[in-house]
A and B are shown apart, each in its own frame.
Chain A
Amino acid sequence: MADAFLTITALEKSYGAHKVLKGIDLSVNRHEVVCLIGASGSGKSTLLRCVNALERIDSGVIALDGDPVSGIGVDVNRLRRKVGMVFQSFNLFPHLSVIENVMLAPVKVNGLSRDEARERALKLLDRIGLSERAGYMPDQLSGGQQQRVAIIRCMAMDPQVLLLDEVTSALDPELVGEVLDILKDLAKSGMTMLLATHEMRFARDVATTVAFLHEGQLIEKGPPGQIFDSPQMEETQKFLRRALFVPG
């Protein structure tokens, strides 16, 4: 594709002697939703953290819009302004109210006035139906509401790509749906996303590409129909048999 926005080439990463990512090649086009699936410990989180420069990479290149953003001397702050990231848990800042969580980066990083930032934050909160909770502290919200706030807190920075690391895994089952709905909305509005997930149904419905990560290698990727209905590799088949066995 001509419009590859995020390209990862021959990415390697180890923790000490433990090699976690063994040469990853992956590209994400604009407006594409790429789902990373794979067993726990296969390296999904590490890959996402590398893309956001939260981990230093050993070798390979990560480029955004053709602009290499990995390696020494890169302005990580500028990179992160283009890339939003939501984590599995501990996302919100517990000492700030919901709206202050959303306003912090626009004010401190983008230099918006507080009034302007507040107005925008309220609009975003309205979009997820939480504008009445603007003054609440994070621990007064349910886990699902917290994750929704975390997602729009990222959106307040107008990122060009959103990284999501199992954002529903720490939630009670009945709260998963409301978070996935927000992600579906974002996907529909054309947001470029790279996400690690265990929600296979969601991946099938929303992803444009599904990539299967196995022990630090991307061993299979393709459109969801192909990966879920006719996986080629034995490891993928094994993983999916186990993952899809869980109803829902």
Chain B
Amino acid sequence: MSNATAATTHARAAGPVSAPVSYHAIAYLSAVTGLITIGLTWLGLSHALSFTADNPGLSRWLRGIAIGGTGLAALLMIFPVRALGHLRRADGLVARGDLVAARLPAWACRQQGLSGIGFGATLLVIVAFYVFLTTNNFAVQRAFLNPGYMVQSAPMVLAAAKLNLYITLAASVIILVLSLALALLRMIPGAAGRPIRWMVIAYVDFFRAVPTIIVIYLIGFGLPLTKIGFVSGWDGMWYAVLALSLSFSAYVTELFRSAIDSIHPSQIAAARSLGLTAVQAYAYVVVPQAFRRVIPPLLGFFVALQKDTALVLILGLSDIFGQAKYFAANFFNLSPVSVVGLFFFVITIPQTRFVDYLIDRQKRNAIR
């Protein structure tokens, strides 16, 4: 048997590219998935039409969605069609024994097939969500996403978000100052510093252990009860600020401390050997380096803080959630609360994206 025939025989068995699933399987699977997706999309999207026989205007809209969605599913067939084209070219090349040349179409076949499967699956998830919203005569959509209620409540609900903003800003400042101070106290060296270190550790442990909502409840209802002039009789917002600051500072203190710890000790040695005092070494060498490392996770905590301001509702404050709940109780419908969800979604996403970007950039710089 010549070398070429041996290679061809081998190729028929294994294919030009070694991979766990052959490109044939992927191409055929993507064709089958594509057809199933078209069918399921039509079934899922047209289901809602059965509830709107008496509403021709809405019916027209929904029919448009069903036809458009199914058309999109049909468009996705372009991937399996391309995959099958590449498959034929690859097989032709293999049959001629040109294994190296066959690699490219086999790879392309695999890519197109996988893309088809991926887009098809995504479309089906969206269709499933649509079915969930519309099923049982639009029960879910009516309960959560009633446009009328949403529009009606939105102005006052969004105006109430000002309170959440104030709480976030005030608490952020307190958290930054308190946490840096606690982290530095936590690092006081020597026997004399021990009781202070213990106190910080106890504080951090306590407030990381107790749920934030409990802290808010205890402080918000407890301190006014004490009737001690200094801590009772505050505006409700300030109890919320205090509680959130205490709770979050525990985490941020740990964050600062671990960042300071992560600076290599030889940096301190190098600074001290140049004659800098311990305080100078921390101020000019350790803390600036630690602060850079801490910025992304710190911003992450501030995103979490914004969201947790919604907890102050338990104190009966009219924050965004409190206001929405008031509307929801009146309408007997949850759509105003969905406005709250949307609000946090819209303000949080850019921030978390920004944090991710910073973390990525830091990783890239660390590798350089």
| Contacting residues, chain B, for A54 (C-beta < 8 A) | 269, 272-273
| B270 CB-CB contact with A under 8 Å | yes
| B133 CB-CB contact with A under 8 Å | no
Q: Which of B22-30, B118-126, B236-244, B276-284 interfaces with chain A?
A: B276-284
73-96 of chain A: CB within 8 A of chain B:
76-77, 80-81, 83-85, 87, 89-95
B3 to chain A, nearest CB (A): 46
| B18 CB-CB contact with A under 8 Å | no
Q: Count how many chain A residues have C-beta atoms less than 8 Å from C-beta atoms of the other chain.
A: 28
| B288 CB-CB contact with A under 8 Å | yes
68-108 of chain B: CB within 8 A of chain A:
none
Contact (Cβ within 8 A) B280 A93: no
Contact (Cβ within 8 A) B274 A89: no
Contact (Cβ within 8 A) B274 A90: no
Q: Residues 14-38 of chain A: 1 if any B CB is under 8 Å from the residue's CB, otherwise 0?
A: 0000000000000000000000000
A7 to chain B, nearest CB (A): 20
B100 to chain A, nearest CB (A): 39
A64 to chain B, nearest CB (A): 14
A95-B288, A108-B280 known; A153-B274 Cβ under 8 A: yes
In whole angstroms, how far apart are the Cα atoms of A153 and B271 in the complex? 11
| Contacting residues, chain A, for B292 (C-beta < 8 A) | 95
In whole angstroms, how far apart are the Cα atoms of A49 and B288 in the complex? 25
Q: Residues 112-130 of chain B: 1 if any A CB is under 8 Å from the residue's CB, otherwise 0?
A: 0000000000000000000
Contact (Cβ within 8 A) A90 B270: yes
| B364 CB-CB contact with A under 8 Å | no
In whole angstroms, how far apart are the Cα atoms of A85 and B264 in the complex? 17
343-368 of chain B: CB within 8 A of chain A:
368
| Contacting residues, chain B, for A4 (C-beta < 8 A) | none
| Contacting residues, chain A, for B285 (C-beta < 8 A) | 93, 95
In whole angstroms, how far apart are the Cα atoms of A84 and B273 in the complex? 6
B262 to chain A, nearest CB (A): 13
| Contacting residues, chain A, for B264 (C-beta < 8 A) | 90
A166 to chain B, nearest CB (A): 13
Contact (Cβ within 8 A) A89 B266: yes
A95-B292, A108-B280 known; A81-B273 Cβ under 8 A: no
Contact (Cβ within 8 A) B274 A154: yes
Whose C-beta in chain B lies nearest to the C-beta of A94?
A: B289
Whose C-beta in chain A lies nearest to the C-beta of B266?
A: A90
| A139 CB-CB contact with B under 8 Å | yes
A54-B269, A87-B266, A95-B289 known; A139-B368 Cβ under 8 A: yes
Contact (Cβ within 8 A) A109 B276: yes
| A207 CB-CB contact with B under 8 Å | no
| Contacting residues, chain B, for A104 (C-beta < 8 A) | 274, 276, 284
In whole angstroms, how far apart are the Cα atoms of A32 and B176 in the complex? 52
| Contacting residues, chain A, for B258 (C-beta < 8 A) | none
| A52 CB-CB contact with B under 8 Å | yes
Which B residues are closer than 8 A to A by beta carbons? 264, 266-267, 269-277, 280, 284-285, 288-289, 292, 368
A-B contact pairs, 27 of them (CB 8 A): A52-B273, A54-B269, A54-B273, A76-B272, A77-B275, A77-B277, A80-B272, A80-B273, A80-B275, A83-B273, A85-B273, A87-B270, A90-B266, A92-B270, A93-B267, A93-B285, A93-B289, A104-B274, A105-B274, A105-B275, A105-B276, A108-B276, A109-B276, A153-B274, A154-B274, A157-B274, A157-B275
- New A-B pairs, 15, CB < 8 Å, besides A52-B273, A77-B276, A93-B271: A54-B272, A80-B272, A81-B275, A84-B274, A90-B264, A90-B267, A93-B289, A104-B284, A105-B276, A108-B284, A109-B276, A139-B368, A150-B270, A157-B274, A157-B275
